[in-house]
Amino acid sequence: MKRIIAYFAGLRAPKLVLWCYLVWYLAIIPFYFDPSPLLWLSALGISSLIGCGLIFATMVPGQKMERWTKFRLFAFPFCVSSYSALIKGKGFILLFPTETKPLMAGIGACLVVLGWGWLCRRLVRAC
């Protein structure tokens, strides 16, 4: 648990935003989930193609890329493509649902991450 607290305590704003993206996705998807294998296979295919391209584009000769960074380069295209397929025709405004329950779930999830980051920073400073 100490490692998790230390990790979140050390996050700067850009990485906290990335965590907000992830929890937003995870909070919204259950409301609009579609079990269609074709949708998820398409998202995996897009993720594979774009992820490989991003790996090649961000490689620096002589430097090893962290596994977490590689994972993110594949996860983002997967999340974007599946999210866009799932919300299509559902009345979203940009990426925001117009229904109250999913909107509050997404906002709440982001607030939890931001609050957790703030709490972890406070805990680390107190020690």
Do 11 and 125 form a contact (C-beta atoms < 8 A)? Answer: no
Average pLDDT of every residue of the chain? 94
pLDDT digits (tens, 9 = 90+) for 11-51: 999 999 999 999 999 999 999 999 999 999 999 999 999 99
- Is a pLDDT exceeding 80 seen at residue 127? no
* Among the ranges given (34-38, 61-65, 80-84, 111-115), the one the predictor scored with the smallest mean pLDDT: 61-65
Q: For residues 115 and 111, what is the distance between their CA atoms, to the nearest angstrom?
A: 6
User: Could you tell me the pLDDT band of residue 102, with boundaries at 50, 70 and 90?
Assistant: very high
Residues with Cβ within 8 Å of 47's Cβ and at least 6 positions away in sequence, in order, are 74, 75, 77, 78, 81
Q: Is the pLDDT of residue 1 over 90?
A: no
The Cβ-side half-sphere exposure at 26, using a 13 Å CA radius, reads 12
- Rg of the chain, C-alpha, whole Å: 17
